[in-house]
Amino acid sequence: MFLAAFFHSCLLLLSSAFAVTGNESFNVVIEGRSNTIESYQKRAELKLARSTNFCRGFYLPEKIGAWGCEPVGSGKMKCTSKYKCGLINKTFSRVTESKRIRLELKKVPTDKRPFSMHVSKKSLRTPSKRHYVREVNRKRQQAYNSQKAIIKRQVKERANKIKLEMTEYDEFSKLEEELAIERTQSGHSVSKNKVDNLSSNDLEEDQSQLKEDLTGIIYRMERTESNSGDEEIIRISKGVKGDKEIPMRRKLKLLAFSGAMTQVQDVNDNTVATFDLAWTPRFKYSDKWAFRGRLGGHFISVEPLDGFDSETFLVYELGAEAEYTLFDDGYYLSAGLGFQSWGSTAGGTFTAVSIGGGYHFEFNKLKIFDRVFASYTAIGNEASNKELKIGLGVSF
């Protein structure tokens, strides 16, 4: 009963999470020879059923409108149909749709010649990080060269100004000599030192400004994950001098689950193997720390007391754990605390302390798998049971 209600809730969450994707419609336009246009239509439908470029996860393209065609001259015809991302079920999947369309394709005149096809929906492609890194470096170099040219021009203008002042000073000195104006040595030194200090101070100021302005130009690449977890959204932003690094946004992921092969052992070295399922929502607090909840369970079959028959019952667990990421990479360590409820004749509720570790993938593998992990759990019951889990995590 518990597991049935648990998985029913998970399906409802999945359906609500992807409702927006399923409601978005898009157009498909093809163009080909008029006498075999039905063959082109079926070939286009088959391409969409097999493609993962427009609908991913638990969705695939579903036709919601009939083909509308009109002649475009020279024995050709242009046809348009409307599609949406439909939720996969028992009778609607990539396998069933491909099989159905291939059977329909055999019933129409076959034409293997190429035809044009256009889809209005933007293709779901994972962006290339190398492209954005090159773009960041290019913009940084452009800004550096531009700022350097401006400061060099300012330095040249100030140097010309100082040179002009020195020329005027020399001309004034010659004029004084010609007019036989008595000049004191102190006056001459003060004027000359003033010009020398002006030249020195201006050049130091220019060099300091050049260093500060060029090091103050900051282009950063801000990286976030898409809702499905299998894409990376990269945004290039320009900062100013003194900015700190762009903080990572805290993120809560509710649609996260795990499955693990579990070995349960007691104080008498009796062991039993089973399969564990759990709902594991995760809150990423920072680059290093994350917190994960756990609600799950597994069936085991043991002899609860000496002399009694073997009994199969459900063990379910409620708890939480903290994750610490190592080396700025996907490797992490975890520690958790929770409670286990054993549904056997001699069962009860006991504390459960766990430690473990694993690896978070940068992007979901096969669209849904986000991590691999292993954990060790000690149960505070009379039999001192211990559990070793090795499994996979999924998220949507």
Q: Mind listing the pLDDT tens digit for each residue in 214-254?
A: 555 555 555 555 555 555 555 555 555 455 545 556 789 99
pLDDT of residue 372: 95
pLDDT at 168: 81
pLDDT at 16: 40
CA 272 to chain centre: 39
For the ranges 34-43, 270-279, 341-350, which has the lowest average pLDDT? 341-350
If one compares 327 and 261, the residue with the highest pLDDT of the two is 261
pLDDT of residue 19: 37
Contact 80, 67 (CB under 8 A): yes
Predicted confidence (pLDDT) at residue 360 exceeds the cutoff of 50: yes
Tell me which amino acid residue 271 is.
Answer: T
pLDDT band at 377 (very low <50, low <70, confident <90, very high): very high
Nearest partner of 344 among 388, 389, 376, 309, judged by Cα = 309
Nearest to 395 by CA among 261, 263, 255: 255
Beta bridge partners of 145: none
Amino acid letter for position 164 = L
346-374 mean pLDDT: 90
- Rounded Cα–Cα distance for residues 162 and 275 (Å): 84
| Span 159-175, average pLDDT | 83
d(CA 365, CA 175): 86
Cα–Cα dist 322/282, whole Å: 10
Whole-number Cα distances in Å, 375 to 260, 261, 277, 319, 392: 10, 11, 14, 14, 12
**In this predicted structure, what is the pLDDT of residue 307?**
55
CB 381 within 8 A of CB 341: no
Assign 2 a pLDDT band (cuts: 50, 70, 90).
very low
Q: How far apart are CA 14 and CA 243, in angstroms?
A: 40
Q: What is 251-395's CATH number?
A: 2.40.160.20
Pick from 120-124, 142-146, 359-363: least confident: 120-124
How many CB atoms sit inside 10 A of residue 388's CB? 17
Mean pLDDT of 78-89: 93
Residue 384 pLDDT > 90: no
- Across the range 331-335, mean pLDDT stands at 94
**What is residue 21's predicted lDDT score, i.e. its pLDDT?**
46
Closest CA to 35 of 81, 69, 80: 69
Contacts of 101-106 spanning 24+ positions with Cβ under 8 A = 101/42, 101/45, 101/46, 101/49, 102/46, 104/42, 105/39, 105/42, 105/43, 105/46
Whole-number pLDDT of residue 313:
87
- Give SS3 for 266: coil
- For range 336-357, the mean pLDDT: 90
Give percent above pLDDT 70 in the chain.
72
Choice between 25 and 128, residue whose per-residue pLDDT is larger: 25
Q: CB-based contacts of 11: which residues, under 8 Å, 6+ apart?
A: none
Residue 384 and residue 77: Cα distance in Å, rounded? 75
User: Taking Cα atoms as reference points, which of 287, 285, 312, 284 lies closest to residue 298?
Assistant: 312
Instruction: Read off the pLDDT of each residue in 1-26 and give the average, rounded to a whole number.
Output: 49
The residues, any chain, with a CB within 8 Å of residue 178's CB and separated by 6 or more, are: none
According to DSSP, the β-strands at 349-365 and 369-379 are antiparallel
Residue 331: helix, strand or coil by DSSP? strand
What's the token pair of residue 300? 């085991």
Between the alpha carbon of residue 212 and those of residues 146, 219, 240, the distances in Å are 14, 15, 11
Q: What would the two tokens of residue 97 be?
A: 């749709």
Total Cβ atoms within 10 A of residue 38: 17
Tokens 């039993």 -> residue: 272
pLDDT at 205 over 60: yes
Dihedral sign for Cα 229, 230, 231, 232, please: positive
Residue 132 pLDDT class (50, 70, 90 cuts): low
193 Cβ contact partners less than 8 Å away, ≥ 6 residues apart: none
Among 174-183, 237-246, 255-264, 367-376, the least confident range? 237-246
> What per-residue confidence (pLDDT) applies to 308?
59
- Top-confidence range, 141-155, 174-188, 304-318: 141-155
Task: Quickly tell me which residue has 């079920």 as its tokens.
Answer: 89
Q: Which two tokens stand for residue 149?
A: 């040219």
* DSSP 3-state of 38: helix
pLDDT-derived band at 112, boundaries 50, 70, 90: confident
Class of domain 21-119: alpha beta
Q: pLDDT band at residue 20, thresholds of 50, 70 and 90?
A: very low
Mean pLDDT of the chain, nearest integer: 80
pLDDT interval class at 44 (50, 70, 90):
very high
